Structure 1
Amino acid sequence: MRTFKIVIGVMLMGALGACDRINEYFESAKEIPLPGERISVITLHRALRPDPRITDLSVRLPRPYINEDWPQAGGHPTHAMHHLTLDEAPSQAWRVSAGVGAGDLLRLTAVPIAADQRVYVLDSEGNVAAHRADNGLRLWRYNIVPESEDRGALGGGLAYDRGILYLATGYGEAIALLAENGAEVWRRSIGVPLRGAPTVVNGRFFTVSYDNQLYALNIEDGSVEWSHIGIAEDAGIIGAASPAVEGDVVVAPYSSGELVALRVENGRILWTDSLTRTGRSTALAELNDINGSPVIDRDMVIAAGHAGRMVAIDLRSGARLWEQDIASIQTPWVAGDFVFIVTTEAQIVCLARNSGRIRWVQQLPRYEDEERRTDAIEWSGPVLASDRLIVVSSNGDGVAISPYSGDILGQVGLPDGASLSPIVANGTIFVLTDDGDLVAYR
């Protein structure tokens, strides 16, 4: 029960993320209102606008390619997937129940992964399932809840490598299963709930715990090779980023807003940075969490935090190359010379990769009731496939946006809300809805 108490505490802290921001001021009845238009200083401070210096810059992208698999969070250890291929007019191919969805106490936190013509899902009650990618047929199901626990836990995720399915769990365990049939290979207790999906590469399993420790495990038996302790942080947002790995460097994101680069062999620190900001106006803005995974692309680290800072950092030296006042809990998408990101204000933004200057901004719906500003909508993504940026929403919409202009290209209704980013594998989009349905579009 200790694990359950810990994760419920984290969930209550993370629930701040679902609250509406306070954008109005209360005036005394005796005050005489001044003439003129009133603009919230919070909204004004956060306004994102295209940079006039790059108005004439054409957005050019690399050619789309077919990715057979999406084997871990972010699609690749670097989280840089560039430009994927998708059919011209995808429609729903199949829909199956993949497990238990989100509820009052628990949420889905693990993005599905796809490998070897299968899609793997971890539901909110600790059930792992494998489904055929062509028709959704379930091949096996395995419950990972420890005998000492009796219910689901927040956090964790999946990764696949060479026939083995690796899991980091909210129960504080790292687990390896045979991808073919779900048979358990090994199980290692870390002792602290693990936040996000692991990153598996070159014989190591990297995972971050709720108390801001990065663990490097040996994938053969789950033994801990080394660990790094970050700054403790009491509050965080449900879900978490995964470490990014390129060559001999791993970049770890923490809920404190720290971004730390370390040697993969021994955990030696190369550099640190912080995505925190001062002088923020609300308690919600005080959350420093880096909830979207950092991306490593051509020796550049790109990351954004909830506190309102997005940065590009030189992978080798740790020097900041640029920064923007952008708040996000999503993973940036890098393609060619451009970066795309969804903000906490329901905007999708295109930035020049080399300078960080904003090329265009598209505002998505922020509330189901825009007039009353109630029922906030959470947008997840984007994924870039065949000249379309794809995002999904907590109120059940899938939207395609032009990466070149920001124009809305189309919209489709999902069977339910989706709070996790979609994935693309072998020309198919897979979406895990909040009620636990796995839906394929091709």
Structure 2
Amino acid sequence: MSRKFSGFKLFVCCVAQILLSSCGFGFLGEKQNKVMIEGERRAITAKQIKLTPDNSLNEISIQLPAPKENENWPQRGGIATHALKHIQLGDAPERVWQSKIGEGGSESIALTAAPIVSNGMVMTLDTTGKVRAFALKTGELRWETILKPKKNAGVFGGGLGSGQNKIFISLGSGEVIGLNIQNGEELWRVSTKRALRSAPSYADGRVFVTTLDNMTFAFSASTGVSLWSHNGMIADAALLGAASPAIENNKVVLAYSSGELYALQTSNGRIFWGDNLSVKREGSGVARISHLRGNPVIDENMVFAASHSGRLIALELKTGRRLWELPIASRVMPWVAGNYLYIVSTGRQLICLTKRDGRVKWITNLPESLLKDSLPLKREKIVVEYSEPVLAGDRLIIASSIGKIYSVSPYTGRILGETQVDGNIFIEPIVADKTLLLLDKQGNLTAFR
């Protein structure tokens, strides 16, 4: 039975237009040129419920797992569970190379596909369907393939994943494509006949993709044959981008723009449990959108997910039983490591919580907006958007839409340093083989080591 796309779809992408100057890169206490920060909240975000640190945690110091080297970052979220915990990265990474992935974003088309790393290569997808593979060590171009969607449909949206020595590409046109990771040769192509906005997830020989109208398809990674599909509710409005499914053992966790969260059996799509994170909020229509845009995370038999409308929850993976919930709105993935969870809220706060019971350890306020001179003789307020935090080398790394990269202590929340890069960053940083990779809106892929 066909599903009609009812209601209006609202896509939100706060695009910062600002001229950024080039400078050196570092994470530990660099002094940068000051910008004027304005504290007034913007109406696009609903009124935030004030959270305060739990005093009972004052005498408890945060203990984190030791950093581990990860040679690859094969899919969005790093691995199938989206729980990479603590990654190795040097104390003062410096820029070692920069390469162009093709066409970047524009006023009408956003660059949304995050890079992946596998087999010593970084793979990227630009806004025209160009897939490129670069050597991780040097940035040298190894190969490129141009994917042309059928019937002149759009490329915009989608992303990359990898497994079984293949790359899996989802295109905005609704097509899912398998490529040979060594040379980019197309191996198979299938169509969901629906627009795709999420990057593919891979585990145990299966590829999972989620559509714009909240359907999930499972395909054979070897042949592209369709295995099963699942229907969620159609949302009247959604943010730009979509969550990629999280997978562990025989369960795949799906997050939809309707606020729905499901756990399904990977082999046949049978539903284990379902939940809904929708919240009625004050504020503009955008603030009330229930979209689960950040990836869900699976760690130690727990599932963590956050909605844009204001609910962060932890559930038991096996049963779906809620363990705790907090009124935190977010549009990015939480980062889980040890007994703690870190998340950036829509209120531009970086929050550290205890993983088991959701108690607040510390809160750090990030700059919400800045004023820049614009012509003629007026000042323009630029709202700052932040990526999800990545825990690497004993600090949390957060990228921003104005090109500032922040280093934050995971133990205290203190900002250790910040640096400015040339482009606007709307895509989360990734770390593989002790290399930090940043992809900016302009299509520049930069490596720091």
User: Normalization by structure 2: what TM-score?
Assistant: 0.89
In the TM superposition, what whole-angstrom CA distance separates every residue of 1:307-351 from its partner, at most 9, and x where no partner exists? 110000000111000001111111110000000111111111100
CA distance in 1, matches of 2:410, 2:261: 28
Structure 1 residue 16: Cα displacement: 6.9
**In the alignment, residue 193 of structure 2 is paired with which amino acid?**
G
Partner of 1:307: 309
Contact between 1:21 and 1:284, CA under 8 Å: does it hold in 2? no
Out of 48, 52, 57, which is 1:49 matched to?
A: 52
Question: 1:402 aligns to what?
Answer: 409
What percentage of aligned pairs have identical amino acids? Answer: 40
1:435 alignment partner, one of 431, 436, 442: 442
2:281 and 2:287 in contact (8 A); partners too: no
1:61 is the counterpart of 2:58? no
Task: Output the CA distance in 1 between the equivalents of 2:42 and 2:447.
Answer: 42
Residues 367, 373 of structure 1: 8 Å contact kept: no
Q: Partner letter of residue 341 of structure 1?
A: I
d(CA) in 1 for partners of 2:163, 2:236: 33
Tell me which residue corresponds to 1:346: 348
**For residue 3 of structure 1, what is the aligned residue in structure 2?**
none
CA distance in 1, matches of 2:257, 2:15: 17
Instruction: Write the letter of the residue equivalent to 1:436.
Output: G
CA contact (8 A) 2:245 2:254 kept: yes
Give yes or no for the alignment of 1:235 onto 2:242: no
**Counterpart in the other structure of 1:85:** 88
Distance in 2 separating the partners of 1:169 and 1:42: 32
State how far apart, in whole Å, the 2-side matches of 1:109 and 1:23 are.
Answer: 26
**CA contact 1:216–1:224 (8 Å) conserved in 2:** yes
CA distance in 1, matches of 2:163, 2:423: 31
1:369: how far off? 2.1
Structure 2 CA distance for aligned equivalents of residues 42 and 243 of structure 1: 27
Residue 169 of structure 1 corresponds to 171
Provide the aligned C-alpha RMSD in A: 2.2
Secondary structure of 1:286's counterpart equals coil
CA contact (8 A) 1:417 1:434 kept: yes
Matches of 1:57 and 1:156, distance apart in 2: 42
Partner SS state of residue 97, structure 2: strand
Q: 1:53-91: per-residue Cα shift (whole Å, max 9, x none)?
A: 222221110000100000000011000000000011101
Greater RCO between the two (CA within 8 Å, min separation 6)? Answer: 2
Q: 1:72 aligns with which of 63, 70, 75?
A: 75
**Contact 1:294-1:302 at 8 Å conserved across structures:** yes
Are the aligned partners of 2:299 and 2:336 in contact in 1 as well (CA < 8 Å)? yes
How many residue pairs match? The answer is 416
Give the match for residue 369 of structure 2: 367
Structure 1 pair 234/22, CA: closer, same or farther in 2 (3 Å)?
farther
**3-state DSSP class of the match of 1:14?**
coil
**Structure 2 counterpart SS, 1:85:** coil
- Tell me if 1:190 matches 2:192: yes
Q: Tell me which of 379, 384, 391 is aligned to 2:391.
A: 384
| Of 280-289 and 294-303, the range deviating more from structure 2 | 280-289
CA distance in 2, matches of 1:64, 1:113: 20
1:419 corresponds to 2:426: yes
The 1:62/1:16 distance shift into structure 2, 3 A limit, reads closer
Matched position secondary structure for 2:390: strand
Aligned CA distance change for structure 1 residues 214 and 21 (closer, same or farther; 3 Å): farther
Instruction: Find the counterpart in structure 2 of residue 106 from structure 1.
Output: 109
* Residue identity opposite 2:229 in structure 1: S
- Aligned to 1:148, what secondary structure does the other structure show? helix
What does residue range 96-175 of structure 1 map to in structure 2 within 5 Å?
A: 96-149=99-152, 152-175=154-177
Which residue pairs with 2:12 in the alignment?
15
Aligned equivalent of 2:202:
200
1:293 aligns with 2:295: yes
2-side partners of 1:225 and 1:197: how far apart?
18
Query: What is the distance in 2 between the residues matched to 1:271 and 1:55?
Result: 36
Cα deviation, residue 48, structure 1: 2.6
Q: Which SS does the other structure have where 2:73 is aligned?
A: coil
Deviation at 1:409, TM superposition (A): 0.7
Give the CA deviation at 1:24.
Answer: 8.6
User: Shift in Å at residue 225 of structure 1?
Assistant: 0.7
Letter in 2 for 1:433: D
Deviating more after overlay: 377-386 vs 275-284: 275-284
Query: Match for 2:284: what amino acid?
Result: T
Q: Is the Cα contact below 8 Å between 1:156 and 1:195 reproduced in 2?
A: yes
Decide whether aligned partners of structure 1 residues 255 and 17 sit closer, same or farther in structure 2, where only a CA change above 3 A counts.
farther
Residue 281 (structure 1) shift: 2.7
Q: Which amino acid aligns with 1:165?
A: I
Cα distance in 1 between the residues matched to 2:39 and 2:163: 41
Return the offset for 1:47.
Answer: 2.2
User: How far apart, in 2, do the equivalents of 1:182 and 1:21 lie?
Assistant: 48
Residues 156 and 169, structure 1, Cα contact 8 Å, conserved in 2: yes
Distance 1:397 1:339, change over 3 A: same
Change (3 A) 1:409 1:334: same
User: In structure 2, how many angstroms separate the alpha carbons of the residues matched to 1:379 and 1:403?
Assistant: 17
Match of 1:181 among 152, 159, 183: 183
Structure 2: gaps (5+ residues):
17-37, 374-378
Q: What residue identity is the alignment partner of 2:213? A: D
**In 2, are the aligned partners of 1:100 and 1:124 still within 8 Å (CA)?**
yes
d(CA) in 1 for partners of 2:272, 2:75 = 25
